[in-house]
Amino acid sequence: MNALNYSRKGQIGTIETLMVLVIIGILIGIGVYLVYTVVIEQTREKADELSIQERNVLLGVIGKLPEVRCQKDNCIDTIKLVVGSSVIKANKDYYASMLGFRAVSIEVLYPEKNNAECNENNYPDCGIFRLYENKKKDFKSNPKTSLLVSLHYPAENKYKVGKLVLEEYR
C-alpha cells in the first residue's frame, strides 16, 4: 500500500512537470510569434523608407537626363520633353532597367494650368508631358513623389513652373 501511494505521488509529479513544460512551450511559441511580427513590420517600414529615398534620387536623376535638361540653366527644356518622350518610348528596355515599374510625367502649374497632354501637334498649348510609363500588371498601390521644376519654353523664351511627378507601381 505504501508503494502504491509513492507511485501515485510520482505520477502526479511527472504530470505536473509535463504541464509546466507545455505551458513554457506555449509561452515560448507566443514570444517567437510576437518577435516575428515585430521584425516583419519593421522590415516593411524600412522598405517603404528606402523606396521613398529611391524615388527622391530618381527625381534628381530624371531632371539631369540629357533628353530633358536645358543646355545652360538648371531647368527642363520643353521641346526636348516632346521629342524625348518618343526617344524614351523607342528605347523602352534601356529606361525600364533604370526606372522599372514607374511613370514619369511633368505638369505645368504656373502661370496657367492646362490638362491637355502634350505632343508634337499641340505643343506649347498643353500642360502635361508624359515622359515614361511602365505599369505593372495587378499593382496594389502607386505612391507618388513630386518635385517642383523650372520649365523652359525656348521658342517663346519663357519659363514656367512645373511639377515632376514620379509614380511607382507596386
Q: Say if 30 falls within a structural domain.
A: no
Domain range enclosing 162: 41-168
Full pLDDT tens readout for the chain, 170 residues:
555 556 787 788 889 999 999 999 999 999 999 999 999 999 989 988 888 888 888 888 888 888 888 887 788 888 888 888 888 888 888 888 888 888 888 999 888 888 888 888 888 888 888 888 888 888 777 788 888 999 988 888 888 999 999 888 87
The CA dihedral of 62, 132, 128, 123, to the nearest 10 degrees, is 100
Asked whether residue 50 is domain-assigned, the answer is yes
Report yes or no on 67 lying in a domain: yes
Dihedral angle, C-alpha 92, 69, 98, 90, nearest 10 °: 10
Cα four-point dihedral sign 95, 97, 98, 104: positive
- Total count of domains within the chain: 1
74 is a domain residue: yes
Assigned domain for 108 exists: yes
Element (H, E) at 48: helix 2-63
